[in-house]
């Protein structure tokens, strides 16, 4: 395991790249990936992401722009993880006419702006 080391360096306020998400509204794309992650506080979730829409230079690393949506998973009394028919993920699957999140890969989407819980904009999508 790598240990954290204290360093000395000069730091100051810098201008970070601003991302105008409005220019992606209505842009057509395809779903590229469906991945399952576990958040330490909120538990497992499914992240659905579009193919690469844009790349913005961000200093030491580039920022990839993709439309993404995350869906929390639930556990039944037998301990199985999944989604309910009336959850956001269940409704999305029904809208696309599929029965499992992995079947979303390759489907056509249209980008739109949604809101994060903290009120900031995020790039997400609808069928189309």
pTM here is 0.83
Q: Is residue 92 within 8 Å of residue 71, measured between CB atoms?
A: yes
Neighbours of 124 (CB within 10 A): 19
Condensed to tens digits (0 to 9), the pLDDT of residues 88-128 reads 999 999 999 999 999 999 999 999 999 888 888 999 999 98
Condensed to tens digits (0 to 9), the pLDDT of residues 36-62 reads 999 888 899 999 999 999 998 877 788
Burial of 6 (0-12, 13-18, 19+ CB in 10 A): exposed
């Amino acid at each position: 395991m790598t240990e954290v080391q204290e360093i000395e360096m000069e730091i100051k306020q810098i201008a970070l790249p601003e991302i105008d998400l409005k220019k992606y509204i209505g842009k057509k794309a395809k779903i590229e990936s469906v991945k399952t992650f576990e958040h330490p506080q909120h538990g497992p979730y499914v992240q659905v992401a579009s193919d690469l829409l844009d790349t913005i230079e961000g200093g030491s690393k580039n920022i990839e722009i993709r439309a993404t949506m995350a869906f929390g998973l639930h556990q039944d009394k037998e301990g199985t993880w999944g989604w309910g028919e009336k959850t956001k993920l269940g409704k999305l699957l029904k809208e696309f006419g599929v029965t499992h999140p992995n079947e979303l890969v390759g489907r056509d989407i249209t980008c739109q702006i949604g809101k994060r819980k903290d009120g900031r904009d995020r790039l997400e999508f609808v069928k189309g």
